[in-house]
Amino acid sequence: MRQPASKTRQLSSAAQDYIKAVYSLEQEQQPVSTTALAARMGIAPASVTGMLKKLAEHKPRLVHYARHQGVTLTPGGRAIALEVLRHHRLIELYLSEALGYTGGEVHAEA
């Protein structure tokens, strides 16, 4: 029997990056504003606003976003963030242990 596609495979890599960045800021106990998210990701705040609206309208909803009130992950968004981080760490481990990549190379490739 065929397994359903992973929830992360249904999202673009850009959407995954946003979710991961929101999660990271939440873990640092920082308010997650569009400005903070833009600074973390090195992009324009207007670009952040557009993606946050898409993530808030995604089915199932991945973030709670209200203009001038910031963004928080929904439980589903948090689960996806953890899955993305887990995959990233597994790739880093494989590159390091199996292929002998160094620390700087591992993060860039993963």
> Can you give the pLDDT of all 110 residues of the chain as single tens digits?
443 445 566 899 999 999 999 999 999 987 799 999 999 999 999 999 999 999 999 999 999 998 888 999 999 999 999 999 998 889 888 888 888 888 777 766 66
Domains and CATH numbers, the chain: 11-109 (1.10.10.10)
List, for residues 43-61, the tens digit of each pLDDT value.
999 999 999 999 999 999 9
20 - beta bridge partners? none
Residue 96: the pLDDT is: 84
Phi-psi region of 42 (alpha: psi -120 to 50; beta: other; left: phi over 0): left
